[in-house]
Amino acid sequence: MRLPAFALTLIAAATLVGIPGCGEGGAEPTTGPETGARADQASGPSRPPSERPVAKVAVIGIDGATFSVIEPLIAAGRLPNIAALMERGAAMVLRSSEESDSSPVLWNTIVTGTGMATHGIIGFTRRTDTEVDGEVLSSYGIFTSQDRKVPALWNMVTSRGAFVGVLGIWNTWPAESVAGYMVTDRFAHTLWEDTSERRALAQTTNAGVTWPAELAGLVSAQVRPPEAVRREDLEQLGAFTDAEWDVIVHSGEDGDVQVGNGLRALRFGYQAQESVGGASVTLLDELEQPDLFITFLELPDRVGHHFWHAYRPDEVRGGAEQVEAGWRERWGEVLPRAYEVTDRWVGEIVSRLDPSTTILLVSDHGMQSSGSPGGRLDQLSRMAHSGKHSKDGILIAAGPAIVSGARTEATLLDVAPTVLAAMGLPGSRQFEGRILHELLDKGHLRRFPPGPAQSEAELERRAVEHTEGLDDAYMEQLRAMGYTGAAGEDVWDNRADAPDAPDPAGEPRDG
């Protein structure tokens, strides 16, 4: 494989962290002197060279993916890549957490194998109280990787002598020094707000957006700024009038944070997913596939929240006649088409993975009707959330570690233990879930024996510079999505058993 000249700096950096160059076959287990040599070159946390064979695993996270949408679309032949994985592998509900419905909490549970009391990411924003002249002032910021109290899969893979690549997962900024690479959540999300100063800040300082820092040079061309969204791209989802397109491109420019703007959510959700999808494909093309590859696609969640009533008007409280005429005709296809776009990314990623890779498609929760009829068709910048999270997420698994057609009861807590077992790496004593043994092929486990669970070393801690401006941009977008209030306080209350969804014309928060 040829590497473009601009990648040379990166490759130098990659050699330092132990990613071999391209072109090595991945089908055979890596073991013995080669693995030792790779580990010896690694910088970052010191770790013993791996003596064991390591099997490749890839986790593709799809925020809010739900079988109630996937199954009918597969029946209609519209999600060929997800269908292919289900056909050759196993598919089952992944039960979400009872303790929260907040995506940062749930994704941190997935990657640490622990509940939020253990991992410490308890919502969208963290409150800091400072006392000034006897008065307590509260300020809010986004949880960072430094707030996570326990190691995540990437730390565990590193300490076990294997290699990892991570993209887009919530609260991964600032990037941790892993054996391999990280592209944090801020890669796409710091660019949510359209000011050139902020963007320049993100690009010139790097500011912990990737590990190693030089990786930014390889993936920065994949960033899709929200204001650069192309009409022909978004028209894959639906047809817009010129006035609607104007709302998509220009709303919020005056600094007004519009809560519940479904059209604007399309623009940010689409561009963020394109950014992370593009970076995923670039890294799989340019660098050898790491032992564990994790990436994140977010469009189904954004679209599900805003367009559920148009897709399934019959699920609205009081019946389909509560939904204003025209919603289904004009916007009923937005959600299915968002899944089609996401399915294409799944195909792009899977086609680049070595055939020896075991692939897991996981969602942090499912999606269902909130009961709300969505709002007025002539006020698309002010929509209620007509979709809300459900407890039934998805787990689709395929590849050499998986028993085809297997099924079991699985929860978010079981993902991390199962990933390490499928890789043939020791589990962790911190895990609060179980290895999903019913899914794992016994022959594979004999070839890649995980060995006994081990304790984790303390996480490296460093001072985090909260770059002013970058935090602001992220916070404003969380507010626009209805996750936080005006001061940044966490107001998310989207429990499956939550009381009635806000009325489109009523409450200020449309979460």
Tell me 402's DSSP state. Answer: B
Q: Which two tokens stand for residue 365?
A: 């929760």
Query: Minimal distance in Å, beta carbon 255 to Zn ion?
Result: 25
Instruction: Please give the Cα distance from 158 to 414 (Å, whole number).
Output: 20
Tell me 360's DSSP state. Answer: E
The answer to whether 139 and 128 are in contact (CB under 8 A) is yes
Among 291, 301, 333, 340, binds Zn ion (CB under 5 A): 301
Query: Minimal distance in Å, beta carbon 363 to Zn ion?
Result: 10
Handedness of CA 118, 47, 24, 8 (dihedral sign): positive
> Which residue has its beta carbon closest to Zn ion?
301
Is 298 an interacting residue with respect to Zn ion (CB under 5 A)? no
Query: Minimal distance in Å, beta carbon 301 to Zn ion?
Result: 4
Decide whether 30 or 484 has the Cβ nearer to Zn ion: 484
Decide whether 301 or 315 has the Cβ nearer to Zn ion: 301
Decide whether 14 or 481 has the Cβ nearer to Zn ion: 481
- For residue 448, which of 49, 34, 55, 33 has the smallest C-alpha distance? 55
Stretch that binds Zn ion, among 42-50, 297-305, 323-331, 499-507 (CB under 5 A): 297-305
The answer to whether 59 and 294 are in contact (CB under 8 A) is yes
Decide whether 63 or 274 has the Cβ nearer to Zn ion: 63
Q: Which two tokens stand for residue 359?
A: 């692939």
Residue at 58: amino acid letter: A
Stretch that binds Zn ion, among 17-25, 30-38, 301-309, 393-401 (CB under 5 A): 301-309
Decide whether 303 or 422 has the Cβ nearer to Zn ion: 303
Decide whether 50 or 370 has the Cβ nearer to Zn ion: 370
The Cβ of residue 1 has, within 10 Å, a number of other Cβ atoms equal to: 9
Query: Minimal distance in Å, beta carbon 114 to Zn ion?
Result: 21
The Cβ of residue 393 has, within 10 Å, a number of other Cβ atoms equal to: 29
Residues in contact with Zn ion, shown as a per-residue x/- string from 253 to 292 under the rule CB under 5 A: ----------------------------------------
Query: Minimal distance in Å, beta carbon 273 to Zn ion?
Result: 14
Query: Minimal distance in Å, beta carbon 339 to Zn ion?
Result: 15
Stretch that binds Zn ion, among 92-100, 249-257, 293-301, 319-327 (CB under 5 A): 293-301
- For residue 311, which of 383, 256, 373, 224 has the smallest C-alpha distance? 373
Decide whether 393 or 504 has the Cβ nearer to Zn ion: 393
Instruction: Please report, as residue ranges, which positions from 416 to 455 form the binding site for Zn ion (by CB under 5 A).
Output: none
Query: Minimal distance in Å, beta carbon 100 to Zn ion?
Result: 12
Handedness of CA 348, 349, 350, 353 (dihedral sign): positive
Residue for token pair 């969505």: 374
> At 481, is the secondary structure helix, strand, or coil?
coil
Decide whether 198 or 305 has the Cβ nearer to Zn ion: 305
Judge residue 155's burial from the number of C-beta atoms within 10 Å of its C-beta, 0-12 exposed, 13-18 middle, 19 or more buried.
Answer: buried
Query: Minimal distance in Å, beta carbon 97 to Zn ion?
Result: 14
Stretch that binds Zn ion, among 194-202, 243-251, 294-302, 313-321 (CB under 5 A): 294-302
Decide whether 216 or 303 has the Cβ nearer to Zn ion: 303
Residue for token pair 């071999």: 20
- End-to-end Cα separation, the chain, in angstroms: 47
Instruction: Please give the Cα distance from 323 to 309 (Å, whole number).
Output: 7
Tell me 488's DSSP state. Answer: S
- How many positions of this chain bind Zn ion (CB under 5 A)? 1
Residues in contact with Zn ion, shown as a per-residue x/- string from 22 to 61 under the rule CB under 5 A: ----------------------------------------
Decide whether 62 or 91 has the Cβ nearer to Zn ion: 62
The answer to whether 162 and 422 are in contact (CB under 8 A) is no
Decide whether 19 or 394 has the Cβ nearer to Zn ion: 394
> Which strands form 410-411's sheet, in the order they lie side by side?
210-211, 180-183, 164-167, 292-297, 57-62, 358-362, 392-398, 90-95, 410-411
Query: Minimal distance in Å, beta carbon 304 to Zn ion?
Result: 7
Query: Minimal distance in Å, beta carbon 360 to Zn ion?
Result: 20
The Cβ of residue 452 has, within 10 Å, a number of other Cβ atoms equal to: 7
Handedness of CA 94, 124, 467, 479 (dihedral sign): positive
Q: Which residues bind Zn ion (CB under 5 A)?
A: 301
